[in-house]
Chain A
Amino acid sequence: MSFLELQNITKIYPNGTKAVNETSLNIENGEFVVFVGPSGCGKSTLLRMIAGLEDITNGEISLDGNIINQIDPSERDVAMVFQNYALYPHMSVFNNMAYGLKNRGISKEEINNKVNDVAKLLEIDQLLTRKPSMLSGGQRQRVAMGRAIVRNPKIFLFDEPLSNLDAKLRNQMRLEIKRLQRQMGVTSIFVTHDQTEAMTLGDRIVVINNGVVEQVGTPKEIYSKPNTKFVAEFIGSPQMNLFNCKIENGIAHIADMKINLNNSTNIGDATLGIRPDDILISDNGKHSCVANLVEYLGSDMIIYSKIGDQEFSCKLSSKINLNAGDTFKFEISGTSVHLFDNTTGSRV
């Protein structure tokens, strides 16, 4: 039995909206799992059901061997870091962190020790007497983390905690969250709509779309073998190129371009996905195209072009000298492409 088990979880709101549909998931002790998906896909709802902040319409959640459907959030021993931190504005940083411990009837001395230890760990020990309104965004974030850590809960739940920070701080906190989670080994679930965060943080990623789990896997699995067209498009930046094509005897036809898939698939119309960095530019490439637009990103650049009337992009080192309007030659390996069924959207 896994540490946290979701079994056929469904959430239907009173107005009839189905936010989560028949979701099952097992999470092991100490694992760092990321729920990722576009806004409104139900990932936050799922997290809030684990926390006990939303009722579960159908299904069962068990934590550490106990079914927790009917258990009050205060009794579940989970801690959550909210998007806007939800610090207690009228309490000092110390009291913010100590509040949960006080409610559990822990002695003053022990609270003092615990709060001070965690404050040191997060480098906020200088701020303990301040009120949240006197803290910067990054410091608030740390306090919110500290409040969760100090309770030593069974699970950490993070609800898009980095989205209110600026880019630099976000990267820094991302690393820190990862480091802390490793250090403490507490099972964590992190919700985000940012695929970079998902890729860098998660031991496993759960891609959710329209209340349904599209794929569960390690970042590598998800990136290299997306199960569905949705996952293929959602993970990876820049987005994967998807071409409408015809597959005949192992050859994919995109307009007048032919790609040999090195197998004997024969499914007619399908969708062919190629990652922008799997398009290899070389002078003796078989295919050629005109670069319509070139985006310079420093070490890399992205070229936008067209095959027939289908747009695509490719990513390459900016050491290559290529300008808009130039013709370039490229090669696509038949083993690096992803093939999806047009009707079901799933991988072929």
Chain B
Amino acid sequence: MKFKPLEILTHIILILGVLLMVLPIWFSFATSTHDNVSIMTEGMKFFLGESFTYNYNEVLNEKGGWSEEVTAARMFVNSFIMALGIATLKVVISAMSAYALVYFRFKLAVPIFWLIFITLLVPLEVRIFPSYKIVSDLGLTNTYTGLILPLVASATATFFFRQFYKTIPDELLESAKLDGANSWRFFIDFLLPLSKTMLAAMFIFMFVYGYSQYLWPLIMTTDEKYWTVVMGMKIIFTENYEGVALPRTGERFAYIILSMLPPVLVVVILQRWFIKGLIQTEK
């Protein structure tokens, strides 16, 4: 196959784009396999070093924090629970509220939809004090429920599901009704399977959203048992290395690389449906 000049140019641009995305991650990974002394003296690394096992082992098992009890592994579990809880509930709740808005033609459906939509203007950061006040009054600080609950409503997902449900022809509902399906069955047997690509796409978005929460867990948790990975990044491995004033850069890079893995895995596993969900609908 012969390339035309324009094609070569587009390929160069694309390759540059890929490098721009991949190189920082590669540098982080390469650096995370070196010991702290060589990083300190030689800077970021491009090639792999020999401290891979040591650094990653340290990261996962060293007890940190003020109480010297919390490990990175624990924080991963916390983050995972939080992200999974947020993503699952967000998808379920918005799919159901969109179902109510589209199929149950109650009087205030449209104003209610816009009310939901307007909440996009008030992200968690804006309403963080009232949210904290409510969660704390309910006695939910330092619980998983407290971490998850204030984040489970999603205007974006509700909007997407609503738009999708609106494209489903009315005859399908009518036909299902005549086949003896009640509204609950219609949701389970029709809307959910028809929107499975959409569900996957929303789940990915919301998982990454939940996983990357920083401010909320920081404010919510005073007990180190509930620390999450992203907030831990600021706190863990900040103490000096074995009493010497040497930053623990190797371990911190290892921590960063590990913290990127769960969202990457979710995307890789669900991407087949994810892409489908964005570009096509099965109808």
Chain A residues in the interface with B (C-beta under 8 A): 51-53, 72-76, 78-80, 82-84, 86, 88-90, 99-100, 103-104, 147, 151
Q: Is the CB of B189 within 8 A of A99?
A: yes
Q: Is the CB of B171 within 8 A of A74?
A: no
Give the most central of B172, B175, B177, B185: most A CB within 10 Å. Answer: B175
Q: A90-B282, A99-B189, A103-B180 are in contact. List 7 more A-B contacts (CB 8 A).
A: A52-B177, A73-B174, A74-B177, A74-B182, A79-B178, A103-B181, A151-B179
- Measured CB to CB, the closest approach of chain A to B8, in angstroms, equals 40
Specify which chain A residues have a CB less than 8 angstroms from the CB of B181 in the assembled complex.
74, 99, 103
Q: How far is the CA of A346 from the CA of B204 in the complex (A)?
A: 68
**Contact string against A for B residues 158-195, beta-carbon threshold 8 Å, 1 for contact and 0 otherwise:** 00000000000101101111111110010001100110
Q: Is the CB of A86 within 8 A of B174?
A: yes
Q: Is the CB of B169 within 8 A of A84?
A: yes
Is B127 located at the chain interface by the 8 A CB criterion? Answer: no
Q: Is the CB of A86 within 8 A of B180?
A: no
Q: Is the CB of A80 within 8 A of B178?
A: yes
Residue of B nearest to A151 (CB): B179
Specify which chain A residues have a CB less than 8 angstroms from the CB of B169 in the assembled complex.
84, 86
Q: How far is the CA of A147 from the CA of B178 in the complex (A)?
A: 11
- Measured CB to CB, the closest approach of chain A to B26, in angstroms, equals 42
Q: How far is the CA of A52 from the CA of B182 in the complex (A)?
A: 14
Q: If the complex has contacts A89-B283, A90-B193, A90-B282, are A82 and B171 also in contact, measured as CB distance less than 8 A? A: yes
Specify which chain A residues have a CB less than 8 angstroms from the CB of B171 in the assembled complex.
82-84, 86
Q: Is the CB of B172 within 8 A of A86?
A: yes
Specify which chain A residues have a CB less than 8 angstroms from the CB of B179 in the assembled complex.
74, 99-100, 103, 147, 151
Q: How far is the CA of A51 from the CA of B135 in the complex (A)?
A: 50
Specify which chain B residues have a CB less than 8 angstroms from the CB of A79 in the assembled complex.
178
Q: How far is the CA of A75 from the CA of B179 in the complex (A)?
A: 9
Specify which chain A residues have a CB less than 8 angstroms from the CB of B174 in the assembled complex.
51, 53, 73, 80, 82, 86
Q: Is the CB of B172 within 8 A of A88?
A: yes
**Chain B, interface size: which category?**
10 to 19
Chain B residues in the interface with A (C-beta under 8 A): 169, 171-172, 174-182, 185, 189-190, 193-194, 282-283
Specify which chain A residues have a CB less than 8 angstroms from the CB of B180 in the assembled complex.
74-75, 100, 103-104
Q: Is the CB of A53 within 8 A of B177?
A: yes
A-B contact pairs, 22 of them (CB 8 A): A53-B177, A72-B177, A73-B177, A74-B177, A80-B174, A82-B171, A83-B171, A84-B171, A88-B172, A88-B190, A90-B193, A99-B176, A99-B179, A99-B181, A99-B189, A100-B178, A100-B179, A100-B180, A103-B180, A103-B181, A103-B185, A151-B179
Specify which chain B residues have a CB less than 8 angstroms from the CB of A75 in the assembled complex.
180
- Measured CB to CB, the closest approach of chain B to A193, in angstroms, equals 18
Q: Is the CB of B178 within 8 A of A73?
A: yes
Residue of A nearest to B174 (CB): A53
Residue of B nearest to A98 (CB): B179
Residue of A nearest to B168 (CB): A89
Residue A80 contacts which of B172, B175, B282 (CB distance < 8 angstroms)?
B175
Specify which chain A residues have a CB less than 8 angstroms from the CB of B178 in the assembled complex.
51-53, 73-74, 76, 78-80, 100
Specify which chain B residues have a CB less than 8 angstroms from the CB of A51 in the assembled complex.
174, 178
Q: How far is the CA of A74 from the CA of B184 in the complex (A)?
A: 13
Residue of B nearest to A74 (CB): B180
Specify which chain A residues have a CB less than 8 angstroms from the CB of B194 in the assembled complex.
89-90
Specify which chain B residues have a CB less than 8 angstroms from the CB of A74 in the assembled complex.
177-182
Specify which chain A residues have a CB less than 8 angstroms from the CB of B283 in the assembled complex.
89
The 9 closest A-B pairs by CB, nearest first: A100-B179, A103-B180, A86-B171, A86-B175, A74-B180, A90-B193, A73-B177, A82-B171, A53-B174
- Measured CB to CB, the closest approach of chain A to B192, in angstroms, equals 10
Q: How far is the CA of A74 from the CA of B185 in the complex (A)?
A: 12
Specify which chain B residues have a CB less than 8 angstroms from the CB of A151 in the assembled complex.
179
Specify which chain B residues have a CB less than 8 angstroms from the CB of A99 in the assembled complex.
176, 179, 181, 189
